[in-house]
Structure 1
Amino acid sequence: MTYSLRVNNDLDVATLVDLAQRAERHGFDQLWVSNDLFLRSAPVLLGVLAAKTERIRLGVGIMNPYSVHVAEIAMMAATMQEATGGRFLLGLAAGSAEFLAWAGIDRPRPLTRTAEAVTAARALLGARDVRGELPEWFGPSAELRVPPGAPVPVYVGGMSPKMLEMAGRLADGVLPLLYPPEHFADARAQVLRGAEDARRSPDEIDIPACFWVSVADDAEEARLALAAKIAYYGPSFAPYLLTRAGLAIEDFAPVTAALEGEGLDAAARLVDDRMLALGVTGSVAQVVERCRSLREMGATHLSFGPPLGPDVRQAVDVLGTEVLPALAAVPR
């Protein structure tokens, strides 16, 4: 079983180093750092973490081929593979159209552009099974002059069925954001459908169950931390994902009104249990039970994402000292 943490790139360097070292001590296998625009630079953060950790694998989740050319993404990945001693993981996706618009960047043909970026990145980074050539917009001498010592695994971040199927055809792994976590069964099937189309073995693709979690010694504080996350992002979720939890966009109207009129704390208090089910929170026993249900659906990699808890350090400790051992105690 593989366990990973996902954190946002709004964390300061000292906090992130502390979290990475805690995660490594607790036995987590991977740490992924987001690269959202106008926050801290994930490649720089991961460079620091490379020097401050020894075993845990380090991933950027995600880079996009619109704000940075895939050749430069591959350069970064190859260098990070060297700096980490072969522990680097590269996440690619189309990125948020809204975030890219903040920088005045358009996002045409997201599925095609992401597929091209994945193929190009894997070709440049040493993959031995790349199907197809570099996109035509590459020149004839397109190759890394300092290639990585070992191929860099390339993951696709996505939620839509078409993006997940593309990941199954082309990528080493996929980071499907799951709202609710139980959407994993459908997401996994979509990835494997793409793998089957490309005549790839399911064993070739890492498919983490990527969900939001919030844990703390105080279950109510943990609940409110997740509620705040859902109050802010919930109304923007794809309707077909919300239906998995018995929800519709209209259900968030009072939450959105409170957010706009009274602020995030007021909005969070209007998030009900159905909305909270979009992530995982509650007692350690309840978190473990939701995780076990994902294993029963076929998950071999559980990926715990923000908010993690009202205190991220405490949350990583609770996950590492209570949740992971409880999961390990019951054979899969």
Structure 2
Amino acid sequence: MTGLVFSARIGSHVSVADVVAKAELAEHAGFDQVWTGNDFLGEPGLVSLAAIASRTDRIRFGCGVVDPVTLHPGQIAMFASGLQELSGGRFIVGVGAGSDVFYAKAGITPPSGPVARTRDAVVAIKELSAGRSPARVPGAGPGWTDLAVPRYAHEVEVYVGAMGPQMLRVAGRYADGALPLCLPPRHVFSAMKEISTGAADKGRDIADIDIAACVWASIADDRDEARRAMAHQIALYSGSLPAAVLAEHGLDPDEFAHTQRLLDTEGVDAAIASVTDGMLGLGIVGGVDDVIAQCSELIEAGARHISFGPPIGADPLHALGLIGTTVLPELRRLADS
């Protein structure tokens, strides 16, 4: 893989139309990729993807991520092939383990652990989308027969949504790309090490794997507005972030625990007010110059793909346009200079 890649994670709790509008704006603003959500009992990502395929011309797009528990790998490969054909080869399928918490709401028990089921799905989907049966292919999982050859196949790249070391190594061994959630942004370099280990296991070159630094980002013309949007995001998730990861990157777990207590006892406004400047380092935040400076540090340290995700900004549509028209051209210019 060569050059820089910039993507936007445009999932929405509003509507399919909102997701498609963001995709159209991202294409116009110069992004290379957009990613939607597809959580079980969440937004209807597959519907959004079909609409994006029809309403855009250039931008690559993917689902981040589908799970192989509520949707069989054979079905994922079928949908992926259809979206690949519909879009003229612009689709990317993102695969992840899914959430056992969400599965439990429907009484679903996954057939294997998160790492095994993700690996099996990645290998099987790659074989099926290429028109081959996964039977007897190492890593494709049990149960496939020689008759499992799709009647309709269009080859598609497969990315893995990963956080833990074992899942990141799966991405390195088998996938075309990885979507590690990088909180804080510099966590991408820890992820790269694990992916590189997995790639080496299979004799692969990590340069051929697209590793997206999936960061939280908040940009606005008014720095204080951008900071408040990021503080709101941090407040909502402060209790869900692993203390060990926070400490590893110089963040204070006690500050995040305090914010979570305030969220639980006094509400979101009190929690937002407790977010310190240090805690804001969990994402990329500020005005145009601030965001350029923070992204430049990642690129200079070796990141080749930055994926901007929620909250994006207090006004997500405006923020997407601001990133695309002011931040991305400057980052590309700096990389070329």
Superposition TM-score, scaled by structure 1 size? 0.94
Query: Shift of the alpha carbon at 1:297?
Result: 2.0
Equivalent pair of 1:183/1:244 in contact (CA under 8 Å):
no
Q: 2:261 aligns with which of 253, 257, 270?
A: 257
Match of 1:193 among 191, 194, 197: 197
Task: Tell me which amino acid in the other structure corresponds to 1:311.
Answer: D
Partner of 1:143: 149
Give the equivalent residue in structure 2 for 1:12.
15
For residues 164-195 of structure 1, the C-alpha deviation after alignment (integer angstroms, 9 at most, x for no partner) is 11110010100011011011111111111111
Deviations 1:227-286 (CA, angstroms, capped at 9, x unpaired): 111111122122332123323543323212221223223212211122211111012111
1:21 aligns with 2:24: yes
Aligned residue in 2 for 1:38: 41
**Structure 1 residue 321 displacement after superposition:** 1.4
Residue of structure 2 equivalent to 1:238: 242
Assess, with a 3 A threshold, how the Cα gap between structure 1 residues 267 and 133 changes in structure 2: closer, same or farther: closer
Return the alpha-carbon distance in structure 2 between the equivalents of residues 142 and 127 of structure 1: 10
TM-superposed CA distance for 1:133, in Å, is 6.0
**Paired residues of 1:181 and 1:210 also in contact (CA < 8 A):** yes
Any idea what SS the aligned residue of 2:210 has?
coil
Partners of 1:63 and 1:48 in 2: CA distance: 17
- Give the structure 2 partner of residue 214 of structure 1: 218
CA distance in 1, matches of 2:56, 2:85: 14
Letter in 1 for 2:289: A
Distance in 2 between residues matched to 1:205 and 1:195, nearest whole Å: 9
Query: Is contact 1:9–1:35 with CA below 8 Å preserved after alignment?
Result: no
| In structure 2, distance between residues paired with 1:56 and 1:246 | 36
* 2:76 maps to which of 69, 73, 78: 73
- Report deviation, 1:104: 2.6
2:204 partner letter: R
Q: 1:100 aligns with which of 77, 100, 103?
A: 103
Whole-angstrom CA distance in 1 between matches of 2:16 and 2:170: 34
Match of 1:113 in 2: 117
Q: Structure 1 residues 38, 134: CA separation in 2 closer, same or farther (over 3 Å shift)?
A: closer
Q: Is the 8 A contact 1:9 1:39 kept in 2?
A: no
Asked if structure 2 preserves the Cα contact closer than 8 Å seen for 1:20 and 1:53, the reply is: yes
- Tell me the number of residue pairs that the alignment of Structure 1 and Structure 2 aligns: 329
Identity of aligned residues (%): 43
CA contact (8 A) 2:238 2:259 kept: no
Q: Does 1:298 align with 2:302?
A: yes
SS in 2 for 1:326: helix
State the alpha-carbon separation in 1 of the partners of residues 192 and 174 from structure 2: 15
Whether the aligned pair in 2 keeps the contact of 1:222 and 1:281 (CA below 8 Å) is: yes
Report which stretch shifted further, 34-43 or 193-202: 34-43
Contact 2:192 2:211 (8 Å CA) reproduced: yes
The answer on 1:289 being equivalent to 2:313 is no
RMSD: 1.8
**Mapped partners of 2:193, 2:214: distance in 1:** 15
The 1:266/1:127 distance shift into structure 2, 3 A limit, reads: farther
Helix, strand or coil for the counterpart of 1:158? Answer: coil
Of 312, 315, 320, the residue aligned with 1:311 is 315
TM-score, normalization by structure 2? 0.92
Partner residue, 2:62: 59
Residue type matched to 1:204 in 2? D
Q: Secondary structure at the residue paired with 1:146?
A: coil
- For the structure 1 residues 258 and 70, does the alpha-carbon distance in structure 2 shift closer, same or farther, using more than 3 Å as the test? same
Structure 2 CA distance for aligned equivalents of residues 48 and 97 of structure 1: 29
Separation in 2, partners of 1:25, 1:216: 19
Give the aligned residue type for 1:56. Answer: I
SS at match of 1:31: strand
